[in-house]
Amino acid sequence: MWLARLTEMGLLRPSFVPPAPIRALRDYTRARTRLTQERTRCFQRLEKLLEGALIKLSSVASKLTTASAQDMIKAMIAGERDPHTLAALARTRMKAKHDDLVEALAGMFDDHHGELAQLLLDQAAFCEARIAQLTARITASVAAMPAAWGVDADGTTGPDAGTGPDAAALPAVARLSEIPGISPALACSIIAETGLDMGRFPTAAHLVSWAGLCPRARQSGPRTRSGKKNQGDGWLRGTLGQAAIGAARTPTFLGERYGRIARRRGKAKAQVAVARSILVIIWHLLKNPEARFTDLGYGYYQARTDTDRKIRNHIRQIQALGFEVTITKAA
């Protein structure tokens, strides 16, 4: 009742409600995420089924979705039980693990295990087909949005514009895909959650706060506690978390930022910090269609380190241990 009364008096700011095309795109991307999660659960159940039959294939193969693992599972479903024959189905680098595969495939796989495994593979294949169908629909939906189109050098715009080397503005998906860790699929998911009109968020900090990637203030009198993240768009946070993990593996500024924070405060906080940095970049790229992502470089922090102060700090620490230090600059 209190919120309704404040709304009647005009004391509450309106909530962010994206336009109809963005809402439809959001439904598609969220459905694809659910199907992707279901496909992952199918392979997790398949791994548990194999473990119950004393088949330790996942301890040798990196994952059950590889071509070698799939061939071995399908052969066991077809009735093959000889571990040497199954291990001979390995491909490429898996051939070097023949002895380990023989040991891992010597289990108690029975006919009912094969029937259940086939059901799980069929379910995963069904999810895969629906994911491909939704991906095509998502790509078509984004291509139909004029705000997501690029601009050629002569000012021409359209679904296929902005793909040339001298384009004045790249398409929105291509612009976001230049950020480390963001693929075209993730870029479409981000657009579905934030929309293309950044005029709704006055600054990048407003977008970060709306997504729930900034800590909230927790203060009681003079006591200030470390704040947890706000409640925000969980779908957007999940997508940005995937992008942050992908960026952490790259030799870029975001990768270096993840490593520096992870060493001091842990991987979870580093992931949130990098996700926030990525969202700030996204706001600038969507705010100005002519902007392009430029990586600051892996040595950004090191290039801005005060060398003299760092030397003095190290000397002071060594002297505190009772040693005298003489510094000579290398030739």
Other beta carbons within 10 angstroms of residue 126's beta carbon come to: 14
User: Position of tokens 């336009």?
Assistant: 19
DSSP conformation letters of 142-155: HHT-GGG-EE-TTS
**CA nearest 278: which of 261, 308, 258, 264?**
258
Predicted TM-score of the model (pTM): 0.85
User: 121 and 49 in contact (C-beta within 8 Å)?
Assistant: no
pLDDT beneath 50: ranges in the chain: none
Tens-place pLDDT, residues 168-194: 899 999 999 999 999 999 999 999 999
**Which pLDDT does position 43 carry in this prediction?**
96
Q: Where are the domains of the chain?
A: 20-143, 146-215+226-300
* Residue 96 parent element (H or E): none
**Which pLDDT does position 226 carry in this prediction?**
67
The Cα 142–Cα 21 span in angstroms is 9
CA distance to 14, 16, 18, 77, 289, per residue, from 210 (Å): 13, 9, 13, 49, 22
**Which pLDDT does position 214 carry in this prediction?**
83
* Residue 220 parent element (H or E): strand 218-220
Structure tokens at 31: 């459905």
